[in-house]
Each structure stands twice: as C-alpha cells, then as structure tokens.
Amino acid sequence: MSFVVPDFPAFDPDLAARLQQKVAGKAKPPGSLGRLETLAVQVGLIQGTEAPEVSAAEAYVFAGDHGLNQEGVSAYPSAVTTAMVATFLAGRASVNALAAACEVTVKVVDAGVDAELPSHPDLIDAKVRRGTRNAAVEPALTRAEVDQALAAGADIARRSTADALVLGEMGIGNTASAALIMHRLAPAPLEACIGSGAGHDAEGLARKTAVLERAAARSPADQALDVLAEFGGLEIAMMAGACLGGAAAGKVVIVDGFISTAAALAAVRLAPGLLPRLVFAHTSTERGHRGMLAALGAEPLLALDMRLGEGSGGVLAVPIVRAAARMLRETASLDEVLSGQVRPL
C-alpha cells in the first residue's frame, strides 16, 4: 500500500490575526523581541491556540547505513553507524549532553542500520532493511521500501506524546545521499551540493564528487518519491515521514542540519503546505545547507558553525521555541500593566 501524504490546509487567518494582535499588545516596544515574536505566532498556529505550550520535547536520531559507502563517499566505514548508535544509547554522544542541558529526551530509531541491534528502552526498531543498495549502480530503495520508511516515520511522530520533536540522524555516507536529494529537489547544480561530510580531505572530496556524478547520471529522477528511491537513505525517508506525521498531529517539528533538511525538502515537495509547520534549527557549515534552506525559503534560528548532525543543533533550538511559547502565554499585556492589574508576587 502506498503512503498517503497528509493534507495541510492553510492556517486559520483569524487565529493568525489574533496571535499577531496578542504579541503586539505585550508590555514591550513593538517588535522588540524580533524573530522570537514571529516564532511565537508560528508555534501558536501549529498548535492551533492562542496559548501554545512546549513542555516535553523529544529528539529522534534516525539511523541508517548506505550502500554508497562501498564507493568511499565517507572518510569513515559504515561500522561507525552501529558504534554511534551504541554511544547514543549509552548517553555519551554529543547530542546526549546537549539534550540533557536543554531538557530534551533522546530516542534512537533503527531505520536501516546494517547490523542487528540489541533491544534497548530508548531504541525504536523500525528497520526496513540492513542499509540501502549502492546508488551509484542501482536504485538505493524500492518504492515499497520508501513507502514503508515514510509510514514508519509518520507513525513514530504521531505516537510521540511530546509537544516538540527534533529530527536528527546518524548514517555514515548520508551527506552523499542528501547532496543527491538536494541536487534533484532544490534543484541545484550537483557541485554546489557536495561537501566534506564527516571530514574528507581534498582527495576524498574529489572521490565523493566522482561517485555522486555517476549516481546522478544513472537516473533522471526529479520527483520526491522517485528521488528517495533512487538515492536513499532510509533514515532520510523516515525523517521525511516524521516531518509529515508530526506536523499533521499538531506537533512542533524542529529540523536539524543538512541531512535533516534534505528530508524536510523531500517532505515539502510531497506536501507544500507542510513548510510553515516546520521550524529550522540552525545553519550548518556543510556545503549546500545554506542553498537548501534558501530553496525552501527557510530562515533558521541559529548559526553556530556546527555540522555534527545527530539532532545536535535541533536540541539547542528547543529552549528558544519554549521561550517563544512562554512569552505568548505569560508576558503581561500593556493594558494590564497600565491598568494596575499586574502586582508583585
């Protein structure tokens, strides 16, 4: 059965007007909180309320391996994916430390790791297959596998009880797949989409570029489902499904870096009405990320020169999203202040 893309109607214009009026009436100079005011309105529209709340937040690290890595598109072997999954589950990765500081729970999703992973309370087994096929020589996934990944991601997001979901990833070789997705769906010249990933030197970057040129020449796919099938990966397709499922459930979906944005790009190409329901966390230094954000017309909250992935930039954006919602709920209006309704505690 094919994955059914949710429908995203335009936001309620009456609610938008009320939210704008509520922000404008706060006890502060007009516009003095800058983009936080815009974010507050966006969160209110996503949740469909004038009193939005972002308390519980969860980061989902979607993990998968890539057949493309057989061609040397990464500086690291695919076994590192499995090792990093163990590190996430041990609570010792960078995203774990950052998430703890920001009061965000971390979950790991096995979308397509090329290993059998032992069960763990924080591991969600949604494995479609053990890694994608080698996209340089054949389609990375079948359409049925893409549908399965999209449906699994949507279901994971819908089932979450959190108010905000951070979408992160782990998959050696996944900047290669993300570059191909950007190339076809932004669209953009391939050379503008390829970066150093986890740490290529000049020789490694040249090898990666040659492999991706071969992969791109193999297929002319330029529609979202076809592009995901041709170039993968499973964690990217599953994050695209999580974007769609989370937004359809009224959750604040926070997109992390280059690979997560590639997933969001695919999801938005499937459902253009999704875009205003996504919050983009930060601008990565991975080549191509700024161009992909520009193709979406997205303006991220942070610019910290990060390029780790894992959802690391996404968890750092959670306190800002929480603050925007609390400002809308808790800051007194100018009328309340001037009328003497506000009293010291």
Contact 195, 288 (CB under 8 A): yes
Query: Which range, of 21-25, 106-110, 197-201, 268-272, averages the lowest pLDDT?
Result: 197-201
**Separation of alpha carbons 309 and 43, rounded Å:** 24
Query: What does the longest C-alpha to C-alpha distance in the chain come to?
Result: 72
Q: Domains in the chain, start-ordered, CATH in brackets?
A: 13-53+326-338 (1.10.1610.10), 57-322 (3.40.50.10210)
Give the CA count within 13 Å in the CB-facing half-sphere of 255: 36
pTM: 0.96
Q: Which of 279, 230, 271, 307 is nearest to 7 (CA)?
A: 271
Tell me which of 58, 230, 286, 310 is the catalytic residue: 310
Tell me the angle at which helices 174-185 and 258-270 cross, rounded to the nearest 10 degrees.
40
pLDDT of 42-65, one tens digit each?
Answer: 999 999 999 999 999 999 999 999
Q: How confident is the model at residue 116 (pLDDT cuts 50, 70, 90)?
A: very high
Q: How confident is the model at residue 1 (pLDDT cuts 50, 70, 90)?
A: low
Residue 250, token pair as written in the block: 């009224």
**Separation of alpha carbons 68 and 80, rounded Å:** 15
The pLDDT assigned to 314 comes to 98
Average pLDDT, the chain: 97
pLDDT, average across residues 101-111? 98
How many other CB atoms sit within 10 Å of the CB of residue 101? 11
pLDDT of 211-268, one tens digit each?
Answer: 999 999 999 999 999 999 999 999 999 999 999 999 999 999 999 999 999 999 999 9
Q: What amino acid occupies position 15?
A: L
**Separation of alpha carbons 131 and 312, rounded Å:** 23
The pLDDT assigned to 196 comes to 78
How many other CB atoms sit within 10 Å of the CB of residue 117? 16
Q: How confident is the model at residue 202 (pLDDT cuts 50, 70, 90)?
A: confident
pLDDT, average across residues 143-165? 98
Kindly state the percentage of the chain with pLDDT values over 70.
99
Using H for helix, E for strand and C for coil, what is the string for 9-27?
Answer: CCCCHHHHHHHHHHHHCEC
330 included as an active-site residue: no
pLDDT of 4-45, one tens digit each?
Answer: 999 999 999 999 999 999 999 999 999 999 999 999 999 999
Does pLDDT of 189 surpass 90? yes
Does pLDDT of 329 surpass 80? yes
pLDDT, average across residues 75-81? 93
**Residue carrying the six token digits 């965000």:** 104
How many other CB atoms sit within 10 Å of the CB of residue 5? 17
Does pLDDT of 200 surpass 90? no
Kindly state the percentage of the chain with pLDDT values over 90.
94
pLDDT, average across residues 286-302? 97
